[in-house]
Structure 1
Amino acid sequence: MANPFNTDLAPNPANFQPLTPLTFLDRAASVMPEQVAIIHGARRSTYREFYRRSRRLASALANRGMGRGDTVSVLLPNVPSMLEAHYGVPMCGAVLHAINTRLDAKTIAFQLDHAGARILIVDSEWLSLASEALDLTEVAPLLIVYNDPEQPDGGRDTSSGVDYESFLAQGNPDYAWLMPEDEWDAISISYTSGTTGNPKGVVSHHR
């Protein structure tokens, strides 16, 4: 006998919305747009600014053909661009792959290949490490370089790749970002340390 409580009650836009942390930033920017969201050295960014920059990133990535199932890798410390990537990357439907900055080039290269990275965003302080890793990969991701204004520029190689701020400038701050089609869609992939072999990928979903 069919359960009457399940009859004609399949999920639809009127009764169901996939769970995703992307709505956290959307709500914060709506409810408290002028509250400080990010403190990085002398820099202060509000939730409105954080949201708009994340949407710019999502838009710029989408303009490069990034979408559902594509991987954006980042080799970044705890800087504002890392926060923007955690929202901007999944806002265009792509999957975020955050790389541990303490890893060696060989391990990073394995992860980039295994994750199928199409774009790599790297802090210029780790650019030489990223370049060494890319020399070992089969994939050839677009290289985007973030220059942290809180760090001294002396001796840092900023000659390679696309400048992060220039890349962001190509995006639309009012970009209509994508909700996941299903809350079980992948939002990120992380890797084990690989102490007993190659690192193992661990996929997290929006829920």
Structure 2
Amino acid sequence: MGNPYEQDLGRNPANYQPLTPLSYLERAAKTFPDHVAIIHGRQRTTYRDFWRRSLKLASALSRRGIGKGDTVTVMLSNTPPMLEAHFGVPMTKAVLHSLNTRLDAAVIAFQLDHAETKVLVVDREFANVVSEALALARVKPLVIDYDDPEYATDAPYPKGERIGSLDYETFVAGGDEDFAWSMPDDEWDAISLNYTSG
């Protein structure tokens, strides 16, 4: 007969939902839409706009064919696009791979290949090392440039040249804030990929 506590209790939408951080931002956007979610230099972004931009990023990625099991790699500092990627990428069921900004070109190339990166978002601050890595890598991802307006003009390392075929803001602007995102099918589904030297 089996365990009586498991009888007629199969998973269904009424009693089971996979765990995911995606619902946190949606709830914050609905509950505190006008509260500031992101502060980056002079820029202030509300939860409503953070949610909308994440949806637009997801939509833009989906329009490029990004979906479940695809890897989107980012080489970004702690900037708004990094936060948007943490929600926008898994909204497509793709996997977010955040590169360590201190890595050299050979290690970056290895990770791009091993992750089978399809899209790479790069802050111009890291354009030089990423350009070297792309020359070494076998994969040829869609490269999107981000130009951080808060990057100090007197920083020790000048911004590199644009290496992508698209600008991040233009890419996101092409997305739809009404994108029909979906939760993971299962909480075992990957939403991030991390490498360590440890």
Q: Same fold, TM exceeding 0.5?
A: yes
- Following TM superposition, by how much is the alpha carbon of 1:8 offset from its aligned partner in structure 2, in angstroms? 2.0
Contact 2:127–2:163 (8 Å) recurs in 1? no
Matched AA of 2:166:
V
- In 2, the alpha carbon distance for the partners of 1:38 and 1:4 equals 49
Q: Residue in 2 aligned with 1:202? A: none
Q: Residue in 2 aligned with 1:27? A: 27
Greater mean deviation of Cα atoms: 165-174 or 152-161: 152-161
- In 2, the alpha carbon distance for the partners of 1:93 and 1:155 equals 32
Match status 1:179 vs 2:183 = yes
- In 1, the alpha carbon distance for the partners of 2:54 and 2:164 equals 23
Which residues of 2 match residues 94-133 of structure 1 at below 5 A?
94-133=94-133
- In 1, the alpha carbon distance for the partners of 2:197 and 2:109 equals 13
Q: Residue in 2 aligned with 1:43? A: 43
Which residues of 2 match residues 168-207 of structure 1 at below 5 A?
168-193=172-197
- In 1, the alpha carbon distance for the partners of 2:159 and 2:122 equals 16
Q: Residue in 1 aligned with 2:10? A: 10
1:191 match: secondary structure: coil
For residues 93-118 of structure 1, give each alpha carbon's deviation from its aligned partner in whole angstroms, at most 9, with x where no partner exists: 10000000100000000001001100
Q: Residue in 2 aligned with 1:203? A: none
- Following TM superposition, by how much is the alpha carbon of 1:152 offset from its aligned partner in structure 2, in angstroms? 5.1
- Following TM superposition, by how much is the alpha carbon of 1:150 offset from its aligned partner in structure 2, in angstroms? 1.2
Gaps (5+ residues) in structure 1?
A: 195-207
1:72 match: secondary structure: strand
- Following TM superposition, by how much is the alpha carbon of 1:175 offset from its aligned partner in structure 2, in angstroms? 1.0
The 1:111–1:155 alpha-carbon spacing in structure 2 relative to 1, beyond 3 Å, is closer
Q: Residue in 2 aligned with 1:93? A: 93
TM-score (norm 2): 0.94
Name segments (4+ residues, structure 1) moved above 4 Å: 152-155
Percentage of pairs with the same residue = 60
Gaps (5+ residues) in structure 2?
A: none
Matched AA of 1:192:
T
Match status 1:157 vs 2:157 = no
For residues 120-170 of structure 1, give each alpha carbon's deviation from its aligned partner in whole angstroms, at most 9, with x where no partner exists: 000011111111000011110000001111125776413642100110011
- In 2, the alpha carbon distance for the partners of 1:161 and 1:74 equals 15
For residues 59-87 of structure 1, give each alpha carbon's deviation from its aligned partner in whole angstroms, at most 9, with x where no partner exists: 00000000010000000011110000000
- In 1, the alpha carbon distance for the partners of 2:104 and 2:24 equals 34
Matched AA of 2:170:
S
2:194 match: secondary structure: strand
2:191 match: secondary structure: strand
Greater mean deviation of Cα atoms: 144-153 or 52-61: 144-153
Root mean square deviation, CA, Å: 1.4
Greater mean deviation of Cα atoms: 123-132 or 29-38: 123-132
Greater mean deviation of Cα atoms: 56-65 or 152-161: 152-161
